Amino acid sequence: MKEFVANQIYINEIPLRFLGMQLGTRMTVIRMKNSALFLHSPTKLTPNIKKRLDELGKVSIIVCPNKLHHLYVNSYVDNYPNAKIYAAPGLEKKRKDIQFNGTLSDESNEAWSEEIDQMVFRGCFFMKEVFFFHKETKTLIITDFIQSIHSYHNLFERIMGRVGGVYDNPSPPRDLRLMMCLDRQTVRQSVKRVKQWKFDKIIIAHGQLITQDAQFVFNKAFDWI
């Protein structure tokens, strides 16, 4: 696990294959002022990760921001029985094996609302995702709606990255864009709302972290809509 913003945001990156591609995935850990830890899109709880988390604070909140980012939640349940787990809209139906404490909405839960804002990104036919904004560090935290493939990926992945329109171009992959075309008006409203947050960095789950010109990158990612 590495530090993204000192004392406040940490990330953990693990390999993850999807459709034959090594896309990797990334967990974001926000250390709140009371040392409670807010885990976004958790990666598998290994002894090393557990040790590191326990050094940082108390695992209190776990959020699964969309219906694809929930794979490793079960590994936390036994170790952190008091942690509260929240699901993206639609995930509770899919993961009936998990006892969620609630469904994420446009309103931040009071346990984190002072430090973290959130909204449901709507308009994609396939899925909704809950976007988060850490106020103090001006960090936008999302998973699948911006992705990127880079020169360090293998040939197949680079080709697929070009087909998907995300090679060295952080943006929604073409399949998600197509599913957003059915309801452009709603997508535009969601994009507008994200832009109200004055973020200067974006954490995504698949691809390079965006730490420069974040607003420009975000605008470019959604200019087609």
d(CA 103, CA 73): 15
Of 23 and 49, CB closest to Fe ion: 23
Q: For residue 99, what are the contacts with CB-CB under 8 A and spacing of at least 6? A: 77, 85
Smallest gap from Cβ 132 to Fe ion, in A, equals 15
d(CA 67, CA 87): 8
Alpha-carbon separation of residue 201 from 10, 164, 173, 192, 216 (angstroms):
14, 23, 20, 17, 11
Q: For residue 5, what are the contacts with CB-CB under 8 A and spacing of at least 6? A: 137, 139
Of 207, 153, 167, 176, residue with least CA distance to 11: 207
Site of interaction with Fe ion (CB under 5 A):
143-144, 205
Of 65 and 123, CB closest to Fe ion: 65
Of 32 and 149, CB closest to Fe ion: 149
Smallest gap from Cβ 34 to Fe ion, in A, equals 30
| Closest residue to bound Fe ion by CB | 144
Smallest gap from Cβ 184 to Fe ion, in A, equals 23
Of 70 and 201, CB closest to Fe ion: 70
Of 117 and 144, CB closest to Fe ion: 144
Question: Per-residue b/e over 100-118, b at no fewer than 16 CB within 10 Å?
Answer: beeebeeebbebbeebbbb
CB-CB contact of 164 with 174 (8 Å): yes
Of 32 and 205, CB closest to Fe ion: 205
Smallest gap from Cβ 68 to Fe ion, in A, equals 5
Smallest gap from Cβ 53 to Fe ion, in A, equals 21
Smallest gap from Cβ 105 to Fe ion, in A, equals 21
Q: Within 10 A of 19 (CB to CB), how many other CB atoms are there? A: 7
